[in-house]
A and B are shown apart, each in its own frame.
Chain A
Amino acid sequence: MGSSHLRPRTAMAIRARLGFVILLSLFFSATLSTALYEDQVGLADWHHKYIGKVKHAVFHTQKTGRKRVVVSTEENVVASLDLRTGFIFWRNVLGKNDHIDQVDIALGKYVVTLSSGGSILRAWNLPDGQMIWESTLPVSTLSKSSLYVLANMNVGKDNLILVFGGSSIHALSSMDGQIVWRKELSIDSLEIQQIFQPHDSDIINAVGFVGSSEFVVYQISYRTGEVMQQSKASFESGFCGEASLVFDNLVVALDASKSSLVSISFKNEVINFHQINLSDLVPDFSGKVTLLPLKFNGMLAIEIASSILLLRVKGANELEFVEKISHPFAFSDALPLSKEQQAFAILQHDESKIHFKVKSDNDLRNEILKETIQMDSQRGNIEKVFINNYIRTDRTHGFRFLVVMEDHSLLLIQQGEIVWSREDGLASIVDSTTSELPVEKEGVSVAEVEHNLFEWLKGHLLKLKGTLMLASPDEVAAIQAIRLKSSEKNKMTRDHNGFRKLIIVLTRAGKVLALHTGDGRVVWSVLLPALRRSETCGNPFALRVYQWQVPHHHAMHENPSVLVVGRCGHGFDAPGIFSIVDSYTGKVQNSLILEHSVSHIMPLPLTDSTEQRLHLIIDAKLQAHLYPKNSDSLKHFFNEMPNIYWYSVEVEKNKIKGYSLESKAELDTAEEYVFQAKELWSIIFPSESEKIAVTATRKMNEIVHTQAKVVADQDVMYKYVSKNILFVATVAPKAAGEIGSATPEEALLYAYLIDTVSGRILHRVCHQGAQGPVHAVVSENWVVYHYFNLRAHRYEMSVIEIYDQSRADNKDVWKLVLGKHNLTAPVSLYSRPDVMVKSQSYFFTHSVKSMAVTATAKGITSKQLLIGTIGDQVLALDKRFLDPRRSVNPTQSEKEEGIIPLTDSLPIVPQSYITHSLQVEGLRSMVTIPAKLESTTLVFSYGVDLFFTRIAPSRTYDSLTEDFSYALLLITIVVLVAAIFVTWALSEKKELKEKWR
């Protein structure tokens, strides 16, 4: 009898043991290293490369082989693009202030760039972008930086590169960048306008203006830089400085009043001026003329009263009207077709169509080529066009156009079709926000069940093989392909883990784009009409993007929307622009130009009954305007009005001021939604010793899970968790410049923690011998800041943690049980704070471009700092390393708590680069977005490039890893069930036998 009972028990034991094994395997798979394996790259992350708005382009198509175009952009990128596909062959991102002035190709193998106001000339190898040489030119900053590179096209000679500006000309060898000769034309206030070389001569002509009325022509020896001939003449009514070289011996300039043209012909030291009468060409001419840059022999383009006239110059005194063009339009530069013939292109916008016309100087009345293409209206108008020709199969000339649009996108157009396009506006993101994707609606898109069971099993078998390291290289490749192909991450619906979202970005061009977090594709894009140049708003620019409406109650029927705020012009008193865009479709729902300016935008933690978020916009006159303007929002607002505070940082005045709102009763303004600010507090930093370097606050939507921190010995410290903490770092004005500009004695860095409601300085600390640049990040109850320590000659990172002492006596468990504690009592910031501060400093090897901190849905997961390094990578550093309680010899209990022994510098583990081998060129900012899964944070970092990934600072403790083998689990379960049945049958048999005994 006893034995029969034993059987099932052993079976149970077996099962329990196997279960334990499974649990163990689960545990191991969950605690894999945080770093990625090589084959995991690209599973959860994506990296897109951009170049920015193209300024100059040079085609390189003469030789057979790769056809390419070399471009320089406003993001200081010089890049070589494949002309067939638009892909980047190579690109080099220059420094932040190293703006590219001109780009050209020299010797047919070097790309030459002139940058930094004409002071740096570099040559890059055309095939691979390696730098060949760099040369620094002594340029006097006094002269206006009108600089050009003139690459000599005569191949047989020793090719020189001429750089000119102001009154000096430099000639550099294109082989090694050595300065061959340098000519300082010793005349004050000389502005060289043009340099050109008459055909097949050793002489360079330089023309320019001296002062406002004198015209100068120099003939300079090509070999030595000697001035061979010099002639000048003055024109009594003066010049305004604009001029256009029409022929080798004729310049057309604008006179000082900008109302008439002057043709200047020069030959053999004789200079003649001719005033050209425009009223012959334009009968009702009045007002001002603008000379448009059109580098085309014998042609002139002028703008009169917003229409453009193309004129042909027949002689010094004779102009012929060719064509009238209306806005918007673009010209290309002249393109030599043969020795005698050259062509240029005119592009004209007509609603959604673009007309392309190519004219050659043989026949200006007619076109060589005429095409029309349909253009996406969300790209705006044409800004620039570059033209290139090729020989068609029928031996005629064909043309391709490289077009830069208003939204900074780049397109190649050939044979009336868009060959490729690049969304390069994404290189200049101004701000970003996120939006949840639509909820999956039943019946609409039922997730496609795995096509069939066999395929599914096969896939999992492969994965199993992979995990057991039995897979052959082919199979590994197959596994990788399956992984990458899985369309799960690219769906347009909300997922359970909250990994799929829309990142809504605002670019400098005023375009709003929605990017899918799965692969970074553009879901929709809209060029905001309010942020385009118009009559009412001449110089608009985009400021910020906020979540405007996030429907929870009607999530199935209503779409969320975002608010885009901009400004008309760069002054603080310029009127604001307000646009509301649907997050799912990109439709502009509402758009208006505000009557007031925008100096501060405050999203309030309040919504009206339609779930539109209340926003308070503070204008330059310190009036607060409430949006949306409806009575419902006003009602909600009045309830919270006494508790609304804000602050402003006036960097120039070295002041921080705090405000609240004046109660409405005392106000006699008729406007219902306008409130008056009341200054509550001010902090004035002494301007002789301090200068505001950086300010940082906590993220508004950050969630803190535990308010208390349990330290060793079962002690509890309460975090000072306030949303109103402002971190301010000030540096000594002497040390505000570059590192090395001040001695350690002069350099001081003050760190402040300020409560922004009451204006209290909670903590103030001084770092001697420290200077900027300062970067800071605030989260929970701590702040981490990065600066340079002049004494130690190293970068340093400091941490300040702030704890609330007023609640420190709530330690007794019985008190908590019996409810005799003050933890739930409302806290007023007007109470005198009783805080304790702990801080520590550590050395850090890198200089930093940007800092951020991870954010998770519930704030349980430990935090990581994200550090944008100087190498444009993102490093994740555990906050535990920046714990002020680290000591050299932590006690046993401290070790158990997880305190790392003190080191004087922070470790940089190569595996903790979340960008792994990639570089986010020109990294500007990192945004962390909590996923629904508590362990995971989404990280979106942008600069010239975009990079997105998801990271789990404490590893994915709450989910199985991607490569978890469900097949193994299934097989184990099947085996177990089989084992149970077998043992059961065996035990039955045995029991029967027993009974028959």
Chain B
Amino acid sequence: MGSSRGRSLVLFTLSTLLLVSIAGGFQSDELLQDDEEFGLEGGRPAADPALSTPTRPPIRRRPDPDLLSGSPDSKSVQFSLEHQFGGSGFFPAGTFTARLKSWSHGGQTLTKLRFSRNALTEEEKGAFERLLKEDGYYTIRVPSNVLTAPGRDFVVSSVRARCIPRESLDEHFIIHTDGVNIVAVNYGSAGACQYPRMLKYPAKWSFTSFTVLKNSEQAPRTPTFAEELLAGEDGLGEGVKPPEKSFWAKYWMYLIPLVFIVLNAMTQAMNMPEEQTAGQSTQAQRAPSTTVRRR
């Protein structure tokens, strides 16, 4: 019951979101996906763009009611993204905003990551074009700790600039966090990057960003063997039967020789009449000779 209610809630939010976006009003850049849902075993790491809503800069940030009201156990943090075109230094490129949730057991986690990209200046556009021409690296960095003051370490990530342009400049961030620390940021194109990389300019010189926040997952642990055994015994009665095999899968080893035999018989049957006629004539010719030998 509860699950169905939850599902309907999600449906509702999705549909309202859809309506809103169709209406062309404010496009929420909020990540619907909670970070906990990522990276489950076997789960795809937020591959679909539908999950991580694209952000189209420039966006004027509005005061977020959620952030303003700010429950006591969570607060908003900001950290900047800086980029580099080839050899020159790092320049600010955008801002990440996230909520820092404090847990009762003392840990802190980042959730609800949003990102706003600064528009490319003409100068930066030129630099990017140059990078595209020489197949250089576009490098970004974010601070390794979202709380501590400047002077901190940065985690760096790079991609060949030619991987990014598609319709617009499509980029994809995966930020691996551990509490307030950012262990790594994985930066790259939103989809595949062809090799060999062709020189291609984007139609629109603006970034379309997808962001994903990832925490480490717990290692799956098989329950202890005793529990497993008990569970196994319970389930033994019903016993998941292996799916019934098809007739062909079961008896192919008998069928193939059978087919061969049939084929063989058929060809023989077809040859028989011919041989009969041919054989008769030869026998007729041979007959005297045998009689001669018999003598």
Q: Which residues of A contact B42 (CB under 8 A)?
A: 836-838
Q: Which of A99-107, A185-193, A439-447, A885-893 contacts B (4 or more CB under 8 A)?
A: A885-893
Q: Is there contact, CB below 8 Å, between A760 and B137?
A: no
In this complex, the member of B39, B189, B193 whose beta carbon has the largest number of chain A beta carbons within 10 angstroms is B193
Q: Is there contact, CB below 8 Å, between A902 and B189?
A: no
A831 interface residue (CB < 8 Å to B) = yes
Q: Is there contact, CB below 8 Å, between A892 and B242?
A: yes
Which of A642, A689, A768, A806 is B218 in contact with, Cβ under 8 Å?
A: A768
A424 interface residue (CB < 8 Å to B) = no
Q: Is there contact, CB below 8 Å, between B222 and A838?
A: no
Q: Which residues of B contact A751 (CB under 8 A)?
A: 219
- Known A-B contacts A765-B216, A888-B232; the reply to A837 vs B194 at CB < 8 A is no
- Known A-B contacts A683-B155, A684-B155, A834-B47; the reply to A828 vs B41 at CB < 8 A is no
The interface bits of chain A over 827-855 (1 if a CB of B lies within 8 angstroms of the residue's CB, else 0) are 11011101011111100000000000000
Q: Is there contact, CB below 8 Å, between B195 and A827?
A: yes
The distance from the CB of B180 to the nearest CB of chain A, in whole angstroms, is 8
Q: Which residues of B contact A666 (CB under 8 A)?
A: 87
Give Cα A392 to B66, complex, Å.
Answer: 100
Give Cα A680 to B184, complex, Å.
Answer: 12
Give Cα A689 to B160, complex, Å.
Answer: 32
The distance from the CB of B151 to the nearest CB of chain A, in whole angstroms, is 14
The distance from the CB of A776 to the nearest CB of chain B, in whole angstroms, is 14
Q: Across chains A and B, which 10 residue pairs bring their CB atoms closest together, nearest first? A: A686-B181, A904-B225, A892-B242, A830-B193, A828-B195, A831-B192, A680-B158, A683-B184, A826-B195, A684-B144
Give Cα A836 to B41, complex, Å.
Answer: 8
Q: Which residues of B contact A838 (CB under 8 A)?
A: 41-42
B224 interface residue (CB < 8 Å to A) = yes
The interface bits of chain B over 176-197 (1 if a CB of A lies within 8 angstroms of the residue's CB, else 0) are 1011011110101111111111
What are 28 A-B pairs at a CB distance below 8 A? A660-B137, A666-B87, A683-B184, A686-B183, A690-B178, A758-B157, A758-B159, A758-B186, A759-B158, A761-B183, A764-B183, A765-B216, A765-B219, A766-B218, A766-B219, A768-B219, A798-B219, A828-B163, A828-B194, A828-B197, A830-B160, A830-B163, A830-B189, A832-B188, A832-B190, A832-B191, A837-B42, A838-B42
The distance from the CB of A147 to the nearest CB of chain B, in whole angstroms, is 45
B156 interface residue (CB < 8 Å to A) = yes
Q: Which residues of B contact A904 (CB under 8 A)?
A: 222, 224-225, 228
Instruction: Name the residue of chain A whose CB is nearest to the CB of B182.
Output: A684
CB neighbors of A among B105-140 (8 A): 134-135, 137, 139
- Known A-B contacts A836-B42, A840-B220, A902-B228; the reply to A831 vs B191 at CB < 8 A is yes
A828-B197, A893-B242 known; 12 other A-B pairs, CB under 8 Å? Answer: A657-B156, A680-B137, A686-B144, A686-B183, A689-B181, A750-B216, A759-B156, A830-B188, A832-B192, A837-B41, A840-B220, A841-B221
B36 interface residue (CB < 8 Å to A) = no
A981 interface residue (CB < 8 Å to B) = no
A contacts with B, residue count (CB < 8 A):
54
Which of A680, A690, A831, A888 is B189 in contact with, Cβ under 8 Å?
A: A831
A10 interface residue (CB < 8 Å to B) = no
Q: Is there contact, CB below 8 Å, between B154 and A682?
A: yes
B172 interface residue (CB < 8 Å to A) = yes
A34 interface residue (CB < 8 Å to B) = no
B44 interface residue (CB < 8 Å to A) = yes
Q: Is there contact, CB below 8 Å, between A891 and B158?
A: no
Q: Is there contact, CB below 8 Å, between A686 and B179?
A: yes
Q: Is there contact, CB below 8 Å, between B222 and A902?
A: yes
B208 interface residue (CB < 8 Å to A) = no
Give Cα A649 to B190, complex, Å.
Answer: 28
B153 interface residue (CB < 8 Å to A) = yes
Q: Is there contact, CB below 8 Å, between A760 and B188?
A: yes
The distance from the CB of B236 to the nearest CB of chain A, in whole angstroms, is 8
The interface bits of chain A over 879-908 (1 if a CB of B lies within 8 angstroms of the residue's CB, else 0) are 000000000110111000000001111000
Q: Is there contact, CB below 8 Å, between A760 and B179?
A: no
Give Cα A662 to B191, complex, Å.
Answer: 26
CB neighbors of A among B185-242 (8 A): 186, 188-197, 214, 216-222, 224-225, 228-229, 231-232, 235, 240, 242
Q: Which residues of A contact B174 (CB under 8 A)?
A: 760-761
Q: Is there contact, CB below 8 Å, between A832 and B172?
A: yes
Which of B156, B190, B219, B242 is A839 in contact with, Cβ under 8 Å?
A: B219
Which of B183, B191, B217, B231 is A684 in contact with, Cβ under 8 Å?
A: B183
A678 interface residue (CB < 8 Å to B) = yes
The distance from the CB of B213 to the nearest CB of chain A, in whole angstroms, is 13
Give Cα A97 to B240, complex, Å.
Answer: 55
The distance from the CB of A927 to the nearest CB of chain B, in whole angstroms, is 30
The distance from the CB of A789 to the nearest CB of chain B, in whole angstroms, is 9
A125 interface residue (CB < 8 Å to B) = no
The distance from the CB of B177 to the nearest CB of chain A, in whole angstroms, is 10
The distance from the CB of B240 to the nearest CB of chain A, in whole angstroms, is 7
In this complex, the member of A678, A759, A832 whose beta carbon has the largest number of chain B beta carbons within 10 angstroms is A832
B55 interface residue (CB < 8 Å to A) = no
Give Cα A831 to B191, complex, Å.
Answer: 6
Which of B182, B216, B222, B240 is A766 in contact with, Cβ under 8 Å?
A: B216
Q: Is there contact, CB below 8 Å, between B188 and A686?
A: no
Q: Which residues of B contact A682 (CB under 8 A)?
A: 154-156, 184
Q: Which residues of B contact A889 (CB under 8 A)?
A: 232, 235, 240
The distance from the CB of A976 to the nearest CB of chain B, in whole angstroms, is 27
Q: Which residues of A contact B228 (CB under 8 A)?
A: 888, 902, 904
